[in-house]
């Protein structure tokens, strides 16, 4: 086996590892509200999320093509193998660190920041495809803002529509409905998040001359979907506790409002081929619902710590990727 093929195989393994870690890191975001309200037992919620994540990942490839071509041009990337490997190592490290401490950080920010950081370390700031890169950054910034506003509006509508209903009876009904919204949330998560690893594998295949188009091959799509599904099956209890309980006390009606909001936003982003942070969108939806329900009931200290992590993820992951590139470049 020649060295280029060995590095390509290593990149594929690292990309699938990233998807696997993304599965148990971000699973919590999709099922946290249904677990916290006891609509689903954790084991059942994780099985549901794993299945729906896999199905979602097998449905679309538009976001993967955006990752492949819109941050840097894979056809012009110098030392492409080293750049991509450094980016994956950086993103995996940051995901594991934030998972260990139970912080709902963004896998999307980590991966996108890492690709940019490693590419800049290899070829300078001019290597970035600024039109596509800025479009991705705008989506990452605007989506949680829209999610907060959407959560606030949807729960406000719920309050008006169900104001005369018996509260315990309404919550029991919404608890059953949460099973459907948890499934929908997990499906949309798969449609967006799993595609990021598909994109970076395709970028590596192009950079190493194993592929001449940005089309996503079936084996790439299937293996990434399977890796995320397996990772999801492990779950992420630490982050479930943060998203599901440390932002606000969630009741079934709150959870449904948050799930519907975030699922709509994530699927809309997938439809227009833009990667977004499912972590940011789901957490912001919960914050919006909480602010609409009772603004003083939101644990803003937890929200503030999450916001700080969101802001620092992209530059820190870029710095880690740049340093990793220089270290790898000494050996590859």
Q: Find the distance separating the first CA and the last CA of the chain, reported in whole Å.
A: 16
pLDDT of residue 142: 93
Q: Running along the chain, 332 residues long, what does each successive block of 10 average in pLDDT? A: 86 93 72 76 82 93 94 89 95 86 78 95 92 93 93 93 77 85 90 92 94 94 93 65 53 87 95 90 88 78 76 93 94 78
Confidence (pTM): 0.89
pLDDT of residue 2: 78
**Containing structural domain, residue 200:** 3-329
Domain count, the chain: 1
Q: Can you give the three-state secondary structure of 178-236, one letter per residue?
A: HHHHHHHHHHHHHHHHHHHHHHHHHHHHHHCCCCCCCCCCHHHHHHHHHHHHHHHHHCC
pLDDT of residue 164: 77
pLDDT of residue 305: 74
Pairs from 133-138 (Cβ < 8 Å, separation ≥ 24): 133/70, 133/71, 135/70, 135/274, 136/66, 136/70, 136/71, 136/112, 136/274, 136/275, 137/112
pLDDT of residue 117: 96
């Amino acid at each position: 086996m020649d060295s280029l093929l060995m590095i390509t195989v290593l990149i594929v393994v690292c990309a699938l590892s990233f998807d696997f870690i993304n599965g148990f890191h971000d699973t919590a975001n999709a099922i946290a509200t249904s677990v916290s309200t006891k609509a689903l037992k954790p084991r059942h919620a994780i099985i549901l999320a794993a299945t729906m994540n896999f199905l979602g990942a097998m449905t679309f490839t538009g976001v993967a093509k955006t990752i492949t071509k819109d941050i840097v041009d894979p056809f012009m990337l110098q030392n492409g193998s080293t750049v991509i490997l450094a980016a994956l190592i950086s993103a995996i490290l940051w995901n594991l660190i934030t998972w260990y401490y139970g912080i709902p950080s963004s896998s999307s920010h980590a991966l996108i920041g890492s690709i940019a950081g490693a590419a800049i370390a290899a070829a300078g700031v001019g290597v970035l495809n600024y039109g596509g890169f800025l479009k991705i950054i705008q989506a990452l910034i605007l989506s949680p803002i829209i999610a907060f506003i959407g959560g606030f509006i949807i729960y406000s509508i719920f309050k008006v529509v169900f104001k005369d209903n018996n509260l315990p009876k309404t919550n029991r009904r919404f608890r059953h409905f949460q099973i459907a919204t948890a499934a929908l949330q997990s499906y949309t998560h798969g449609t967006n998040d799993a595609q990021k690893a598909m994109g970076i594998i395709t970028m590596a295949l192009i950079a190493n001359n194993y592929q001449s188009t940005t089309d996503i091959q079936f084996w790439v799509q299937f293996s990434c979907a399977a890796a995320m599904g397996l990772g999801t099956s492990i779950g992420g209890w630490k982050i479930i506790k943060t998203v599901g309980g440390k932002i606000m006390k969630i009741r079934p009606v709150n959870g449904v409002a948050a799930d519907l909001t975030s699922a709509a936003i994530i699927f809309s982003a997938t439809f227009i081929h833009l990667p977004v942070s499912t972590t940011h969108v789901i957490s912001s939806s919960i914050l919006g619902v909480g602010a609409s329900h009772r603004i003083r009931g939101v644990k803003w200290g937890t929200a503030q710590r999450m916001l700080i992590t969101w802001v620092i993820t992209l530059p820190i992951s870029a710095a880690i990727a740049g340093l990793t590139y220089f270290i790898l470049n000494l050996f590859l």
